[in-house]
Amino acid sequence: MTELIARDQATLRANDRGGYTVPTSRLYPFQWNWDSAFVAMGWATFDAPRAWEEIELLLRGQWHDGMIPHIVFHAPSNDYFPGPDVWRSEHTPPTSGIPQPPILATAARAVLAANPEGEPRMAAIFPRLLANHRWWERARDPDATGLAATLHPWESGMDNSPAWDAALRRVPTDTQTPIIRRDISHVDAAMRPRDDEYRRFIHLVDLFRETGWNPARQYAASPFRVADVATNAVLLRAERDLLALAARFGTPADSQEIGARIERRARAIGGLWDAARGLFLARDLVGDAPIRVSTSAGFLPLYAAATTPEQTASLAETYAHWARACAWMIPSTDPTDPAFEPKRYWRGPIWSVVNWMIADGFAAAGRRELAALIRAQTCRLTERSGLSEYFDPTTGEGLGGAAFSWTAAVDLLLRTPAPA
């Protein structure tokens, strides 16, 4: 156990670039939004000041309107495409122009729990978190439906999920920006999104850049507009954590505002439930219809405390059904689905961070034995296959980038006792 914890800590230190952590060397040479949130929680298990610094440097990329972009380009690198020359966001430091699942308030609360002496730093961070959550309401749920829209697959963090296939086909494949696939010079192309998907990804970047990164214009122009289960579940959980922080660092009006959003979001996520599949499903907001593709994101309302006892029981049955079809859990796509690809990024592989969130949700919902099973198997994967970016659910083989920061961070969270 001590050796594994030392390995995890050494991985974070090796990927440290002076206050921020890259996901892994070369493949992802910048600071990624939700990666850094998980990484901050990992740092907090052994170096709390460094955990705060991770959050603070991510917030250097926050826009004046409250958005926290999915990439902050603190230092130049030619190892990744698209870089700041493509995004042209006119921010210092340079950033991308789209968000990622907003887990930062959850991470900040966890870092504070590990380091109560960091209260002054939390007091400075809280208004930035509140501004970000207001951005999500204003920019991505302008009609106050309770469901935040995702306008680019990269925003979901689950870039090439089969759940996006139909909606992504509405996006043209022509691009203004020449595409340079630097990722497949670092990782086998069989483990990455396909060229056709990349062309559609970059078409959306070009489109949004033409709007001047104006949120309302992006919302109106995007042919890809979905209610992603994962993003909405992560946002609802973060709202709950922000509410807890508001009691100490905010005002009664802040708490009332956050509480109202929580009620809307919880009610709206309940509407994504599909009883026949025993899973929550994303929704196509352009076609106003459920996206009938089963992915691991469908378990994440557990993490947001947004399931009924009956739904929790049904999700446990779905887990058992999937477990009969593959040796390792939890695959990112239903292993019985024709779209399942065990080695290709978010079309099948296991991701430690998703396992951690699902286990957290099952535990909070009273399914502690199942949560312990998921946690133990996630630890066994890193013991046998290292700190890989993701894992083949049929063999347990490590895939994608190696020495991956958020895999190390989650491993630390699983192996290090939480503060009392």
Query: Which residues are known catalytic residues?
Result: 159, 389
Peptide bond into 330 cis (omega under 30): yes
Asked if 307 and 344 count as a contact pair (C-beta separation under 8 A), the reply is no
Rg, Å, the chain Cα set: 20
Location of structure tokens 């430091």: 93
Chain-centre distance for alpha carbon 382: 20
Mind giving me the DSSP string for 253-322?
A: HHHHHHHHHHHHHHHHHHTTEETTTTEE--EETTTTEE----BGGGGGGGTTT---HHHHHHHHHHHHHH
Give the C-alpha separation, 198 to 179, whole Å.
8
User: Per 3-state DSSP, what percentage of the chain is helix, strand, and coil (rounded to 5)?
Assistant: 55, 5, 40
CB atoms within 10 A of CB 183: 21
Residue 17: strand, helix, or coil: coil
Asked if 188 and 344 count as a contact pair (C-beta separation under 8 A), the reply is no
CB atoms within 10 A of CB 26: 16
Residues 6 or more apart whose CB falls under 8 angstroms from that of 124 comprise: none
DSSP letter (8 states) at residue 351: -
Residues 6 or more apart whose CB falls under 8 angstroms from that of 53 comprise: 19, 20
> Pick from 47, 45, 61, 60: which is nearest to 16 by CA?
47
Give the C-alpha separation, 152 to 164, whole Å.
10
Give the C-alpha separation, 323 to 319, whole Å.
6
**Amino acid letter for position 250:** G
Report the C-alpha dihedral over residues 413, 295, 146, 275, rounded to 10 degrees.
-120
